[in-house]
Structure 1
Amino acid sequence: MIQTVIFDMDGVIVDTEPVHHYAYNQQFKQLGIDISPEMYASFTGNSTKNIFERLKAEFNLEQDVQTLVQTKRNLFNDAFDNKEDLYLLDGVEDLIKELHSNGMQLVLASSSATVTINRIFNRFNLDQYFTHKVSGEDFPRSKPHPAIFQHAAFLAQTSVENCIVIEDSTNGILAAKAAGIYCVGYDSFHSKLQDYSQADIVITHFNQLSFEKIKSIKKPV
């Protein structure tokens, strides 16, 4: 029986992608590099650190990775603080509250930095529902590597057979499956160039999930 639901954050709980896109593109202009839409889409689910490690090697950037990460973070924070039209994705708050009120353990496992996770959670008062928050910046390899989800299950003290992951990205889905965890792919209109073929089920709205549906999920043998 499912005991723990592991949520991704960006694209699942809140759509901060426009803010990230703005911050990254401001920085790409500063750096004088041209990133194709396909390359940008491949970043989805990766930590900022891993993205800039890749870009530093690809474009032979002079700045060290930590400086690049901090510059992007500052651009994101400035844009985030000034963005009034930032909302939780339709239906996700109702699902979170229903799961929590029925005793389901909720864990966040996001590639975002801890400071970004905390900004989102403080803005929308989400800490009351989640027992743990895991940031991808604490792992040397990003999704699709399974470490972040394996650690989330470990913190929850729940076997992977009794967890599910809700993810919106190709890399996140692959990470969940590599961890041996049942994965719900969330294919929303915010999703761009992502592959949901490896997800166990695919939803397009959170009203397609409920406590009863999640509790009764059985992992394929």
Structure 2
Amino acid sequence: MDGLMIDSEPLQSKAYETVLKEYGKDTIFGQEGTVQKIGVRERDNWELIKKTHGLSEDTDKLIDKRQYVYLELIRQHAIARAGLIELLDLLKQHNIKMALASSSILSHIHLVLAKLDVANYFNAIVSGHDVPRGKPAPDIFLEAAKQLHVDPIDCVVFEDAQTGIEAGKVAGAKVVAVPNKYTKNHDFSKADLVIDSLENINWNTIKTL
């Protein structure tokens, strides 16, 4: 969802920065140009950030603080990525079941869905808290397929990050990579298709996957 449906990575990073500043920590950016590792659950990100920034605060407290900041940023700044609504309309016209599988927490997912007014498109929603392991483990996509009552082999996953690509392939699904400016240097070699934008896919292409 983040980075695929909305251009959220700079907002995500800003929220991490804000919390770190509260603890007097200088921000250390990763190779992707963000504080967080893209495509990873927030709890896993905080465990990494605590080590790199020498922070000993309780992880749950850090999550709560960052979520408060991030949700406000989403309310103010979130807009749909180009081609998203058109793709959702296309799939709905062809009676394709859709699930939103995101590493984010459920409250964040619902806020984005409400902000973009797209909740009615999805038959199932799976958050990072609904599965025991985060990406690149396949758990989140396996659970999404289960909730849709379909075999993962019959699913197509859209992802913007390497961890999601790997998770989708391990789950047995076809995977379409849609890199953004923060993930363009990821390894997308395992994807079945790589496109520059959601605008660049049509029904004939989807059928051939």
- Give the TM-score normalised by structure 2: 0.90
Cα distance in 2, alignment partners of residues 14 and 38 from structure 1 = 21
Q: CA deviation at 1:215?
A: 2.5
More displaced 10-residue stretch of structure 1: 35-44 or 74-83: 35-44
Q: 1:52 aligns with which of 36, 46, 55?
A: 46
Sequence identity percentage: 29
More displaced 10-residue stretch of structure 1: 196-205 or 23-32: 23-32
Residue identity opposite 1:38 in structure 2: Q
Contact 1:91/1:206 (<8 A) preserved? yes
Residue identity opposite 2:30 in structure 1: P
SS for the counterpart of 1:133 is strand
More displaced 10-residue stretch of structure 1: 98-107 or 20-29: 20-29
SS for the counterpart of 2:150 is coil
More displaced 10-residue stretch of structure 1: 200-209 or 100-109: 200-209
Residues 59, 41 of structure 1: alpha-carbon distance in 2 compared, 3 angstrom cutoff: closer
Q: 1:37 aligns with which of 30, 37, 42?
A: 30
Aligned residues: 207
Residues 29, 140 of structure 1: alpha-carbon distance in 2 compared, 3 angstrom cutoff: farther
Residue identity opposite 1:131 in structure 2: N
Cα distance in 2, alignment partners of residues 198 and 133 from structure 1 = 25
Contact 1:50/1:141 (<8 A) preserved? no
Equivalent residue number for residue 62 of structure 1: 56
Residue identity opposite 1:151 in structure 2: E
Contact 1:109/1:152 (<8 A) preserved? yes
The 5 A counterparts of 1:156-171 are 156-171=148-163
Contact 1:99/1:210 (<8 A) preserved? no
Q: 1:149 aligns with which of 121, 126, 141?
A: 141
Equivalent residue number for residue 125 of structure 2: 133
Residues 61, 41 of structure 1: alpha-carbon distance in 2 compared, 3 angstrom cutoff: closer
Equivalent residue number for residue 172 of structure 1: 164
Q: CA deviation at 1:14?
A: 1.2
Residue identity opposite 1:136 in structure 2: G
Segments of 5+ residues of structure 2 without an aligned counterpart are none
Residue identity opposite 1:82 in structure 2: Q
Structure 1 residues 157-182: Cα deviation after superposition (integer angstroms, max 9, x where no partner): 11111101000001111111111211
Q: Does 1:191 align with 2:183?
A: yes
Residues 36, 22 of structure 1: alpha-carbon distance in 2 compared, 3 angstrom cutoff: closer
Structure 1 residues 181-210: Cα deviation after superposition (integer angstroms, max 9, x where no partner): 111010234535422122111001223322
Residues 206, 58 of structure 1: alpha-carbon distance in 2 compared, 3 angstrom cutoff: closer
More displaced 10-residue stretch of structure 1: 127-136 or 37-46: 37-46
Segments of 5+ residues of structure 1 without an aligned counterpart are 1-8
